[in-house]
Amino acid sequence: MKQMTIFITGTDTGVGKTVLTVLLAQFLRQRGVNAAALKPICSGGRDDARKIFTAVSGALSLDEINPWHFRAPIAPLLAARKENKK
């Protein structure tokens, strides 16, 4: 079976990256495709990662979907520095 990677990106917060990712993951999984989705880095909480977790029906753990997460809703590099993380 052919494997495919789709990379979704956008230029700003709130442009719909997570919405598109969730809808695409749900669409593919409903059709029997073994689809996974990741949001490797989040700042400002993990709400987006939780939405993806739900969309993939728990196929991956929250930490697999989102291994790097920071509380401050600022650029991830600055949020990591604020929490003294690399």
By the 10 Å C-beta count (0-12 exposed, 13-18 middle, 19+ buried), 53 is classed as: buried
- The answer to whether 25 touches 55, Cβ cutoff 8 Å, is yes
Task: Look up residue 78 and give its two tokens.
Answer: 């600055």
Set 2, 39, 51, 86: catalytic member: 39
Is residue 17 flagged as an active site residue?
no
Catalytic center residues: 39
